[in-house]
A and B are shown apart, each in its own frame.
Chain A
Amino acid sequence: EPEVTQTPSHQVTQMGQEVILRCVPISNHLYFYWYRQILGQKVEFLVSFYNNEISEKSEIFDDQFSVERPDGSNFTLKIRSTKLEDSAMYFCASRKSAGVRNEQFFGPGTRLTVL
């Protein structure tokens, strides 16, 4: 069964460093998302991406964040200069189409630890 994959499973970085989190969505899906969950808090939306552009982003998704679909299979989230408060589990999700009954399929997450 097709699944969303994410690498790495755990990333440790120093404050101020750049990180790139990688996702491979399900191959025939057209809508892509990033969410994150800070420990003890709710899963929160970061950004949605469709047709090679951002379709919606949250207040969290400031200039330090960017997303890219560089080669038609990968979907990446870049954090330019990490802060301690960026420590969280980051989830990628994909959806086949905009139909109301379509599920979002989630990857297993990347745990980002900023020291």
Chain B
Amino acid sequence: ILNVEQSPQSLHVQEGDSTNFTCSFPSSNFYALHWYRWETAKSPEALFVMTLNGDEKKKGRISATLNTKEGYSYLYIKGSQPEDSATYLCAFHYNQGGKLIFGQGTELSVKP
């Protein structure tokens, strides 16, 4: 059974803090790793698709790294803002068909 785990489950930070969370996934049969940002009542928004070991991606204050050999990815948010409050989901993609296996998400709350 393919399993994806995220930690921590929730995180409460102050505005301006930098934070990071982890996604662990199977290190075999790797195809891609997806990060999504999901605000309540909205569509999950794609942040990154990561495919190569050592990949680093950046979008504004958010960045992510990938280690396929050991099966983990980190998501970093620099200088958190209240609008960063959301659930961050990672999803493991192991075949061309596109089936995604999701972690349980990290719920981030940023207080002003």
Contact surface of A with B, Cβ cutoff 8 Å: 3-4, 31, 33, 35, 41-45, 48, 50, 55-56, 91, 95, 98, 100-109
Contacts and interface: CB of A to CB of B under 8 A. Distances in A.
A33 B98 contact: yes
A108 B43 contact: yes
Interface of B: 4, 31-32, 34, 36, 41-44, 46, 49, 51, 89, 91, 93, 96-105
Nearest to A105: B46
Contacts of A104: 34, 46, 98, 100
Nearest to B95: A56
A98 B73 CA distance: 23
Contacts of A102: 49
Contacts of B51: 100-101
B96 A98 contact: yes
Contact of B31 (A91, A100, A107, A108): A100
Given A102-B49, A106-B43, A31 B98 contact: yes
Nearest to B101: A45
Contacts of A106: 36, 43-44
